[in-house]
Amino acid sequence: MTPEFITELHRAAEADGDAPQPPDPERLLALAKRRDSRRRTATTVGTIGLASTVVAAVGVGSALLDSPAPNGSHPKLGPAGNDGSGHTAQTDRPHQTGPAEFVSQRVARDDVIGVCISQLDALAVEPRTTWEIDPGQRARFFYAGQRVSFLGTGNVSASCTIPSGDHAPPSRVTAPIADESDTAGILQQCGVVAGFDFSDWTVDSAMTAADGTEAVLSSDNGFTAVCALQPAGWDAGSDQVVDLPYLSDAQMSRYRKGDHYDGQYYFVSLDASALDIKTSNPLSGALLWGGITMFDRNDDIATNAATVTLSYGGESITRPVVDGHVAIRWLLPNAADADVAYDVVVKDRNGQVLASYNIAGQN
Amino acid sequence: MRLGHERPDDDHYVAFASSALVDLRRTAYLICGDWHRADDVAQEALIRIYSAWSRIERTTGLMPYARRTVVRLLVDHSRRPWRRETTGVAVDPAPVRDQTDVVDNRILLLEALAQLPPRRRACVVLRYFDDLSVAETAAALGCSEGTVKSQTSRGIDELRSVLEQRGFTDLGLLKGVTT
């Protein structure tokens, strides 16, 4: 390699005169402690988790949300009348135009406080505080169903789930988590968490393990939502999560076929949690969980995939794949931590291997 | 399994964050082309380290873990669609070039990097900016060493092509770059 090329790379990265001030390490320490504290002592008030913490992960998600969509523009999924400028009205929210016809909707930053204020007011923080979006979240747009962190005067913080439709406000499930066989229960409980009516949606895949259920839900017009339900207190702030989509599966496919996409096929990327960081549970080991939409080598939805088998440490599970979708929640009691490199084998209906790889490196 | 004394003392954490932050945000910037986003992921990586400090220090190592987290947040799939499918990269607005044909290598290079697919771009940045070995890059990206080699090679080829298309005259810049 030439020193000149390396020099130019360093020049490019170090010419940060136009860059914002970097985060203050002392503030990072405070944020880290707050996050740590939140994990250990969750305090939840209604639909809003109020704690002396800021969920920085939301900031990252938001920042990435702000990345351009294919062709450099944000996805224009709004209903007729939305000019795609992002200056959506406060009432523009994801909704269903007919039975399970989902329309995603983004919410401009300036409108987020308006749609969240009722949730924030419900906290009845005294003395009265003025809320602002955590400056760490720099996105210009948010999406309904997304959690947004707010800071208030007096060093208080809260997260608000942007309301998603004309359904009841987002809330938490306090009843026992619905089992994988309880389709109606899953749709109802995922709806409670998202504040969205999933009753006309389909449960493509669901799996129950370790007292929780992971599910992949689909609408009639090809949108996919991922729902993770765990007993309250398992992991403060992320024990019950619904990811509403903003791209349909078909749009995802077109996106992947774009010039700048370098995605992997038949990819089963799961979140992993070391159970020792969970609160209020007696389990140890690791938990792999996620709702997957698989794509084939042509970046089409992997409708030819019939099963996926995961293996780790002598254990394995096989899950059916439905229309490219599979939900997985796999408890690994013997895993030392969450850094689990598992094997994946995806097969078609004839048992032919479509893909075989270790999650640390796809073949 | 709960390990005791996972958290660092404040001084250790701040010292590490101070030194790591500079490199992490620069790496992130080269990969994503956006200082704000670079700050976000660098900050997130350092926050994640805190609660499992001892384990990370004992196993992966603090800086490799932080770098891997940055790369994965920027590049890898995740369960949330907006992270899982993020690909497009917008370089911060380039300064208007003057009219004297003076080519700003820095801007051209950033623009050319932005043309690469994310994982390929990350390979180039980790190999040549962070000076990681093939094995270290593979660990950061969670892929095989063979993938790193092929992606880096293709990335350099594409960089060369893009720079040439843009009339970049200093063709020696990438001459002899090997993967």
CA distance A60 to A41: 23
Among candidate residues A244, A229, A207, the one with its CA nearest the CA of residue B81: A244
CA distance A5 to A3: 6
Which single residue is written with the structure tokens 């992966």? B60
- What distance in Å separates residue B57's CA from the closest CA in chain A? 14
Q: Does A282 touch chain B (CB under 8 A)?
A: no
CA distance A189 to A229: 8
Which single residue is written with the structure tokens 């709960």? B2
CA distance A156 to B39: 23
CA distance B41 to B139: 18
Return the pLDDT at A214.
95
Preceding amide of A127 cis, omega within 30: yes
- Looking at residue B174, the DSSP 8-state letter turns out to be S
Return the pLDDT at A281.
59
> DSSP letters of B112-152?
HHHTS-HHHHHHHIIIIIS---HHHHHHHHTS-HHHHHHHH
In the stretch 55-74 of chain A, residues with CB closer than 8 A to chain B read 56-57, 59-61, 63-70, 72
> Could A339 and B172 be called an inter-chain contact, meaning their C-beta atoms sit closer than 8 Å?
no
- Looking at residue B19, the DSSP 8-state letter turns out to be H
> Could B117 and A260 be called an inter-chain contact, meaning their C-beta atoms sit closer than 8 Å?
yes
Residue of chain B with shortest Cα separation from A245? B81
Two structure tokens written together for B128 = 């040549």
Task: Tell me the residue type at A9.
Answer: L
Residues of A in contact with B81 (CB under 8 A): 243, 245-247, 252
Residues of B in contact with A225 (CB under 8 A): none
**A141 close to A66: Cβ distance less than 8 angstroms:** yes
CA distance B84 to B86: 6
Residue B95 buriedness (CB in 10 A; 0-12 / 13-18 / 19+)? exposed
For residue B170, the SS3 value is coil
CA A289-A253-A353 angle, to 5 degrees, is 60
Residues of A in contact with B86 (CB under 8 A): 64, 67
B101: number of CA atoms within 13 Å, CB side? 3
Residues of B in contact with A29 (CB under 8 A): 10, 13-14, 17, 50
CA distance B54 to B7: 7
Return the pLDDT at B96.
34
Cα distances (Å, whole numbers) of residue A48 to A122, A140, A261:
9, 22, 36
Return the pLDDT at A80.
26
Two structure tokens written together for A32 = 């880290």
Q: Does A28 touch chain B (CB under 8 A)?
A: yes
A43: number of CA atoms within 13 Å, CB side? 12
Cα distances (Å, whole numbers) of residue A291 to A40, A83, A318:
26, 32, 15
Residues of A in contact with B44 (CB under 8 A): 56-57, 59-60
In the stretch 195-254 of chain A, residues with CB closer than 8 A to chain B read 226, 243, 245-247, 252
Residues of B in contact with A270 (CB under 8 A): 79
The 3-class SS string of chain A reads CCHHHHHHHHHHHHCCCCCCCCCCHHHHHHHHHHHHHHHHCCCEECCEEEECCCCHHHHHHHHHHCCCCHHHCCCCCCCCCCCCCCCCCCCCCCEECCCCCEECCEEEHHHHHHHHHHHHHCCCCCCCCCEEECCCCCCCEEECCCEEEEEECCCEEEEEECCCCCCCCCCCCCCCCCCCCCHHHHHHHHHHHHCCCCCCCEEEEEEEECCEEEEEEECCCCCEEEEEECCCCCCCCCCEEEECCCCCHHHHHHHHCCCCCCCCCCCCCCEEEEHHHCCCCCCCCEEEEEEEECECCCCCECCCCCEEEEEECCEEEEEECECCEEEEEEEECCCCCCCCCCEEEEECCCCCEEEEEECCECC
Determine phi and psi for A170, rounding to 5 degrees: -55, 140
> Could B109 and A57 be called an inter-chain contact, meaning their C-beta atoms sit closer than 8 Å?
no
Query: Which pTM does this prediction carry?
Result: 0.50
For residue B29, the SS3 value is helix
> Could B178 and A36 be called an inter-chain contact, meaning their C-beta atoms sit closer than 8 Å?
no
CA distance B56 to B51: 10
CA distance A337 to A272: 9
Nearby residues of B102 by Cβ (< 8 Å), 6 or more positions away = none
Mutate to test the interface with B, among A34, A227, A260, A265 (most CBs of B within 10 A): A260
CA distance A330 to A271: 10
Give CA torsion, residues A251, A253, A257, A260, to 10 deg.
Answer: 70
Return the pLDDT at A324.
95
Task: Identify the segments of chain B with pLDDT beneath 70.
Answer: 1-6, 76-105, 167-179
Mutate to test the interface with B, among A6, A7, A29, A289 (most CBs of B within 10 A): A29
Q: Does A132 touch chain B (CB under 8 A)?
A: no
- What distance in Å separates residue B62's CA from the closest CA in chain A? 14
Cβ atoms within 10 Å of A316's Cβ, excluding its own: 13
Enter the ipTM: 0.75
Nearby residues of A185 by Cβ (< 8 Å), 6 or more positions away = A178, A179
pLDDT tens for chain A, 363 residues long, are: 466 778 878 877 877 666 677 778 888 888 787 766 654 432 222 233 333 222 222 222 332 222 333 333 222 222 222 222 222 233 344 555 555 667 766 788 888 888 888 778 777 777 777 888 877 666 677 777 677 778 877 667 777 777 766 567 778 888 999 999 999 999 999 998 888 889 889 999 999 998 899 999 999 888 899 999 988 766 544 678 887 776 788 877 887 776 555 667 888 877 766 665 555 556 667 788 889 999 998 889 999 999 999 998 888 999 999 999 999 999 887 776 556 778 899 999 999 999 998 876 332
Q: Does A100 touch chain B (CB under 8 A)?
A: no
Return the pLDDT at A346.
95
